Amino acid sequence: MRNPLLALLALFTFHGVGAQAQEPVRQVAVFVEPYYRAAADPTGRPSVAVARAFDERLAGNDPRLIKEVEAEIRTQPELITPMTLMVLSIRLYDTGSRDDAVFWHYVAKDRLRTISQIVSGGISGAVVATRDFAATAGPTINGYAFCNVEKQRTARRAAFEWVRDHPYQAIFLEALPSRFADRAAALRDVLAGIEGDVRKEAEYLSDPANLESLKASRRQSGADARFCW
């Protein structure tokens, strides 16, 4: 059986023990061309090209505009791509809304999982790019998320429930092929798998010994100093 803790620990060892000064991480320094290029420093303006309706505002540094995009996505979430959600998460972190950044990062990963397991063609480039976002932004987002394990568990569950309650409608587009005749049934199966993983992770982290191992790894890697400010 896959050990959930090992996957969590990998998020923090990415930074390397003692490899960097223990400075607060105020920016998600991600480069996924041609969709996103982080600014040279937290005060700069990133390059964003994931959704025409949102790109200009997501590239700005006004927290109110980032939150405005978030509100619009909540209003009409049906066809918002996982890649757009990843960039929303990154920009929320950069502009100080780090709890919201955690939630949308998990939403993006779960929404990606639903479509990538059901649709069999026409989205490979988007899937690869979104996985690149998850892999490169994940250490920073989770570095902050696990400052408070109880809060992380709540956000993780809430993200799954959002994905469950707001099915990604691109899954049902006839232009995108699928090996499943009944895509709605396939989606229910994928969601059941995600929910099972969320439950297993929560159960694993409820064990005091596992929790202490996670905390020890964070102390060793300097994650608390870098993210829990």
Residue 2 lies in a domain: no
pLDDT of residue 136: 97
Q: How much is the pTM?
A: 0.92
Range of the domain at 111: 26-218
- pLDDT band for position 20 (50/70/90)? low
Asked whether 23 and 11 are in contact (CB, 8 A), the reply is: no
What are the Cα distances from residue 151, in Å, to 4, 64, 85, 178?
Answer: 18, 24, 20, 36
Domain membership of residue 166 (yes or no) is: yes
Q: What is the pLDDT of residue 133?
A: 98
CB count, 10 Å around CB of 102? 26
Task: For residue 106, give the nearest of 166, 155, 143, 69 by alpha carbon.
Answer: 155
In one letter, which amino acid is 182?
Answer: D
Answer yes or no: is 212 within a domain. yes
Counted domains in the chain? 1
In a domain, 7, yes or no: no
Q: Is residue 181 in a domain?
A: yes
pLDDT surpassing 80 at residue 12: no
> Is the pLDDT score of 15 beyond 70?
no
> Model confidence over 86-141: pLDDT tens digits?
999 999 999 999 999 999 999 999 999 999 999 999 999 999 999 999 999 999 99
The predicted structure's pLDDT at residue 7? 54
pLDDT at 21: 58
- The answer to whether 204 touches 210, Cβ cutoff 8 Å, is yes
| CA nearest neighbour of 104 among 52, 50, 34 | 50
For a pLDDT cut of 70, what percent of the chain falls above it?
A: 91
Cβ-in-10-Å burial (0-12, 13-18, 19+) of 144 comes to buried
Copy the structure tokens of residue 134. 């998850």
- Res 78: pLDDT: 98
- For residue 196, being part of any structural domain is answered with yes
8 A C-beta contact, residue 83 and residue 124: no
3-class SS at 178? strand
Q: CA separation (Å) from 139 to 52, 180, 223?
A: 27, 34, 10
- Residue 188 located in a structural domain: yes
32 within domain boundaries:
yes
pLDDT of residue 19: 41
Q: What is the pLDDT of residue 104?
A: 98
pLDDT digits over 179-229, tens only?
999 999 999 999 999 999 999 999 999 999 999 999 999 999 999 999 999
Residue 22 pLDDT grade (very low, low, confident, very high; cuts 50, 70, 90): confident
